[in-house]
Amino acid sequence: MIAEFEDWGASAPAGVGARFLPECDSTNAVASKLGQSGEAGPLWIVAGRQSAGRGRRGKIWKSEDGNLYASLLFKPAIEPSDMTAIPFLVALAVRDTFLRFGADDVRCKWPNDVLIGGCKASGVLIESSARNAKELDYVIIGIGMNLMHFPDDAQFQATSLKAVTGNVIDVRNAFQALSHHLFDRLTNWKTSEITPVAEEWTNSAWGLGHRCVLRTATDTFEGTPLRLAADGGLVVGLDNGEERSLYAGDIFPVSGME
């Protein structure tokens, strides 16, 4: 189904496939087509450049050469309701990778971004297909990591590993580190327990306990992110003393309020 690719399986964990494409529309789109055709993985799709990279909520993800664009297609032995912890596991694996290559002050930003020095350096897009409430067809974890470049017009200020550390990391080396960190976290994850994952994510989180601007599809308001709920929602303290749980949206510094 993929006409031309380079086999990167030697850079992935044992038993996990990997294919590198010089260019594609988006790695998630390629992985989705493979999943729909019956490919169960685990298989990574890595691209040198994306012509139609996507972020959450349909946002365009700029895709220049030198950054890492990769999607993992797999069929986990879990029910759709067990996926709550996956975005946080992925963010922690991305954080592991940045730390490995010399970054510090690497923090996770709800719902699934990773920041270096308070600026966005990575985004995650997770998609899945389920035939019913009990069985997943496949899951796709799409990850973009700013190794060399970053947009200067993003809503949330961005940066790259090179800009922060001066380190130039080859895409394949970054992929090898990321794929192994994520493999270890998914393999060691006890699907019935989100608490240990939530605690580790919380300990490295950005914005908790600080007044922020929160934007959902329907409104924008100020509040104080407090903690993760057991179901993965973000619990926000409001000015009237009440708490509100968010399941989709974004967080910005108070100064970013329009």
CA-based nearest residue to 121, from 172, 156, 171, 70? 156
Residues 40 and 125 in one domain: yes
Residues 146 and 250 in one domain: no
Which of the four pLDDT bands, split at 50, 70 and 90, describes residue 162?
A: very high
Tell whether 1 is covered by a domain. Answer: no
Residues 82 and 114 in one domain: yes
Q: Tell me what pLDDT residue 62 has.
A: 60
Q: Tell me what pLDDT residue 59 has.
A: 56
Q: 46 is in which domain, residue-wise? A: 6-203
**Proportion of the chain above pLDDT 70, given as a percent:** 93
| 98-139 confidence digits (pLDDT tens) | 999 999 999 999 988 999 999 999 999 999 998 887 889 999
Asked whether the predicted pLDDT for residue 68 surpasses 60, the reply is yes
CA-based nearest residue to 251, from 164, 157, 150, 161? 157
Q: Which residues of 147-169 are buried (b: 16+ CB within 10 A; e: fewer)?
A: bbbbeeeeebbbbbbbbbbeeeb
Q: Tell me what pLDDT residue 114 has.
A: 98
| 31-66 confidence digits (pLDDT tens) | 999 999 999 899 999 999 998 766 554 555 567 889
Cβ atoms within 10 Å of 7's Cβ, excluding its own: 11
Residues 75 and 127 in one domain: yes
Residues 192 and 217 in one domain: no
Which of the four pLDDT bands, split at 50, 70 and 90, describes residue 81?
A: confident
Residue 253, preceding peptide bond in cis (omega within 30° of 0): no
Residues 223 and 145 in one domain: no
Number of domains comprising the chain = 2
